[in-house]
Every structure is written in structure tokens, then in C-alpha cells.
Structure 1
Amino acid sequence: MTMTPEQARWFADIADRIVANVETVLLGKAYVVRLGLTAMLSEGHLLLEDVPGTGKTSLARALAESVRGTTQRVQFTPDLLPGDITGITVYDQRSGEFTFHPGPVFATIVLADEINRASPKTQSALLEVMEEGYVTVDGIRHPVEAPFLVIATQNPIEQAGTYRLPEAQLDRFLIRTAIGYPDHGSTVRILSGAASPRAAVLDAVVELETVRDMIDAARSVHVDPVISDYVARLVEATREHADVRLGASVRGALALVRCAKTFAALDGRHYVVPDDVKALAEPVLAHRLVLDPEAEFDGVTPSAVIAQVVLETAPPSDRVAV
């Protein structure tokens, strides 16, 4: 069943309230907050590549508090074990039974800080639950509850002692973006105390059950065949680009459509337009590209490739509204 205009207005109203609530903590970053909300409502995960001190933890905590969810922060280090994330079974001598002790991954929003500092085995443990929605410990599955969002961070500057995420694992993240430094006005408001203090707890604006309804509603946003054709041509163009060794996969195309549907609903529309695809092409597709080594040496970036592909690929001219 396709989303109705009334449902789209309901969706956008709730989303605006969530974004405004988070912005009381993360000043001047409405676009990043909307991307995080898009990832959550599209049942995906967010990768933030940013320097320390830009508000990554604040984003995770504020988003969880706004939907009356729980949040856990895991500082990834080289000695972190998979069980430290997923949980372990412990033998209880009094009962004579093994009891499962859930790890920090059992939360609404999990902040995986500096994910590239942990060993590949530990990274894989987190990426498995991100993809499957459950953890397996001693042969027993333990599902995580929806909504479930992992916000992983990487420091793009300091690479000493890190384990770079393979391209196949980067592809598991729905969206990659950066928070960046606040503008001058926001910085002044932060310094003058206009922003909420670190210890403040935000009031929830919606319940988790409402968020689950929004996830279901986002799936029903209409995607015209001409939009699907446009996404397919964009993805194919990344594979044919001279500076690209490995272009976006079919998973990338599906991710772009999923995000575009949610992004349209955030804007109060029950249908996707080409501008939704254009707005999301870079954060959804750029991290899925593998550039030619010579192009990387010349300073070419995946973001620049996506920008060129979007510029050179003609959007559909037919009417896409329903």
C-alpha cells in the first residue's frame, strides 16, 4: 500500500520535531541530523568520518533521547574482543545453568567510537549484527530490537595503529557523512552557554512505537519507474568512470532508493523526486567506490566523482508525482 499525502504530512511533522529537539544540542547541524534520522528510519547505519570534538557522541545521545530509546558508547581499542560488544554467556554455579549477559550492542543507538582501531575480528562482530539484526553466542541467536542504529566513527587524520575497514565492510553502512565544525554563530551560542550542557537529558518527543510505525511507512513511499531508471543510470555511470576501479554495487543502488524514500517522507511527500536522489547520492554512494590508484595519487576523491556523475547524468523529465 502506497503512502498517502496525509501520512506524509504526519511523517514530516514528527521528523521535524525530532530534528528540532536534537538541534538544541547539536547546533546548526540540521542536515546531518536529518541524515542520521534517514539512516535510522531506513533501517541502516551511519558512518561518521570526522575529527574529535565535533559532537558525534552528542548526536547519538540526543537522537536516542528524542525517541525515548537507549544509547551505548563503545570505545574501540586494539584489545577489544567480540564478546565485549555482543555479550557473553556466564555459568551460574547456583542454578547450574549458563546465562547470557548482553553486551552494549543491545541498545537503540550504539556509538562505535573509532571503529577502525579495533581488530578486524572485532569489527566483524559489530558488522554482523548490523547486517543480520541479531548476535549468535554459543549457537543461540539473540535479536536486537528495532529501531536499531549504529553510528560508527573514524578519525580521517590519525591513521597510526588503525585497521582500515575493507571496502566490503564499508558497503554495509547505509550513509557516510561528517558533522564538521559549527559555523561562527553556532560556536558563539555554544560558548555563551546557549546550548544544552553535556549532562542535560532531552525530553522525548516521540515513543519508540511511533518510530517503528515511521519505518513501516517509509517503505510505502512511491518510487516511479523513471526514478528507478535514474538511479540505475547513476550507479552504472560510477562503474564506467575513468577514475574508478570498482563502482557502486546493486546494494548501493538499493540503498539509494531506500534513503530517497525516507528523505521524501521527511519533506512531507509520498513520492520520490530526482532532487531526493541528487541530495543523497554523495553520502550514500561515495564510500562504496574504489578509485584507481593513479587517480587517488592525483587527488581525485570519491565525492568529486559522484558530483561529476550527478552533473553529467540527465535526471528524468517526466512527471513523477502520484
Structure 2
Amino acid sequence: MDKKKIITIVSVVLMSVLLIYGGILANQVFSKNTKFSQKEFYVQVPTGSSYEDVKKILEPLVENMNRFEMVANKRSYPENVKPGRFLLTNGMNSYQLVKALRSNVPVKLAFNNQERLEDFAGRISSQIEPDSLLLINTFQDSTFLKENNFTSENVFVMFIPNTYEVYWNISAEKFRDKMIKEYHNFWNKERTEKAAKQSLTPVEATILASIVHKESVKKDERPRIAGVYLNRMKLEMPLQADPTVIFAKKLKDNDFKQTIKRVFYNDLFLNSPYNTYKVIGLPPGPIAMPDITALEAVLAPEKHDFIYFCASVDRFGYHEFAATLPEHNVNAKKYSDWINGQGVAR
């Protein structure tokens, strides 16, 4: 056999081997390698995870781990594991899986209507990596409180209801820093000046807004309610806000899951800094997370002479307002007679 034929045969054999190897490689890299039924699946890789940890996370989701590992090694993934939240889609191949594990997907955090810092921390910890205890401790760090003129009772005012984009593996400190930045962005010069016109600081305005928020779900009525409380504060009257009594009762019972629909006469004597029937001025902290309409109601209250209000019998969800005690007593009796007839015991 001449030299030229030998070279030709060797070339053909090598080409065949390369084609076979290429086919095997293509199968390893580009064939489907997922086994979950959902269209999309988010994988969370905790901070400090190793490559072995990632493989354990992926094991229920990947059809052939050997194929994944071959591509991961080729792509130097074992040496470059990153924590975070990653989106996998049904039908991904090994190459796409490795690529996806390098693309941290942010979380859209939305929060409102939380009653306490503890509730808020629990809500947030279900959406990002730090647990609720770590979040609370970070929010209540003494140095942070001092630097921002907060107390452990009022630091909850820092959180402005909105939708925020963060990475799942954000640290508790970085999350707190983002929230304080958003707080200062909200309390710009214009809003701070509006609060000052009501003789309030941003913290005081938020605490009052939390009461207004709890008093009425009717957003169009909130500026009028805010006006009532500001009138009382100018007269140095107790705020006498029923929602603060309800909050004080829940705090005393250490049970914020209970539903309290009615405040009784004896409740008004509960010893608590949150009971505004006994304490002049604002409570030491918010009784809820006020939404933006409640905050704006305090910053732009309705101007009037009303000092009193109670729930309306004729306009469900709204209130009846009065400038004098005799007028209020008429409205209050009407409401009391109605609610007694409903048999509301708590």
C-alpha cells in the first residue's frame, strides 16, 4: 500500500473518530438535561455554597448529572460557584444550565400593610436569603439607630411601601442600607417641609399616618381624619384613637393574629405607651405600615374645625364628624346602638 493511500485511510479514520466524538460531545452539551415538569424553576444557591452543594440542589432537577458535570468542568464552573437566585427553564441543555447558574436573577420585593417590624421581617425573609431574626437585629443595631435618629420603637417608619428590586442573596446590612436610602429619597425637601408645616418630623408624620391608615380604608376620607388628629394635637388633647388601643391590647397579649373589631370602655384604661386615650401625643412608634395615601393625607390634611368622629351607620366604611362634643355624642350613640344590635362582642 502506497504512502498516499495510508494517509488517506488514516485521515478518514481520524475524521470518523472526530465526528463520533463530536456527536457524543454535542449530545452531552446540547441535548435536553432537565426533568422538572414546571415551565420555569428558580434555584437558590446559598452564600458559601460549594460545587458539591450545587450538585445536591440540582440533583432532583437534572436528568443526567454526568452530562452536566462534563460541561460544568469544561466551563470552569466548579471553581466559580456564585450564590444567588437562578432561573432554569424546562428543556434546558447542560450548556444552558451552566450559563443560567451564572446569571443571578433579582427578586421584586413588594410589601405593604404590615403591622410590626417582626411581621415585616418575616415577610421579607421569605423572599431573600437573610432570616427574620438577622433582619430584625440589623434593623435595630444601636449604631444604625443612633446615626439615623431612630429608636427601636420607631425604626419601622423607615420602610416605605413600594416594589423594590434586590438580589436574593443580598446581605441584611445591604438590604437595610437600601431601605434607608429609599426612606431619605421619599422624605425629600418638599415632603419634609410639608411635615414641618404640621409641626411634625418625618418620623412623627409616619406614626400619625399609621393611625390614619388604620382608622379608615377610604382613601378619600383620610385627609379629613388627619385634620381631626392634627386639630387635637394643636389643642393638646389626647388623640383618643381606637386603633392605638387595639394595638396596645395585641401587644399586651403578644398576639397580633387576633381580630379585634370593637373597643370597650374598660379597654381605654389599658396601661401602654400606645394607648392614646391615656397618653398625650403620639405613641412611641407606628401601629402599622402606612401606605402612601395615608402619608400624603398627613402632609396635606383637610382644614376644618372637626375635633370628633365615629363610624357612620349610614355610609359603611366612612365616618361622621363633629366640631362639638354634643354633636359627637349623638353620632356616637347612633353607632353604639347599631353595633349592639349586630352582636359584635369583640
TM-score (normalised: structure 2) = 0.22
TM-score (normalised: structure 1) = 0.23
The structure with higher relative contact order (CA 8 Å, sep 6+) is 1
Higher strand share: 1
Point out the structure with max Rg over C-alpha.
2
